Structure 1
């Protein structure tokens, strides 16, 4: 589970996860089983097995993006620009710790 800095990021993750699971559930009819050497072949696909096979689907579909730009030396941080620490959210504990005697 990823660690997020803000509650908004946690909320966004909670919104995206069901959509990703639903996408994997819908895609199980179009993927072909390509088990790793230690895995058994199976008729019923779990979401993890479908995610493992999605690379073949994406290779057939292609991508609308352009080729990556060549890398080079980055210009770095601008001179005179102030740096700010990111805001921290308080930790929310699930249980109440009993007071020490």
Structure 2
């Protein structure tokens, strides 16, 4: 994926995260980059999660992502198979 396309995708996804979008976005990055996590607090050790560990719980509680819009965005990223 080209860097510009990745940036565009991340910006689009960010706007659909609802409340607590900053913490939710960082938590998403931490989930994707953390190899082993035995609790939610383990994600706070990721270098991309720059908040206190309690922000993880607040993000999960407060975030109200626009699921339909996010799903459409994800589907748009699926490459069209060449026949």
Give TM-score, length-normalised by structure 2: 0.24
From the CA coordinates, give the structure whose radius of gyration is larger: 1
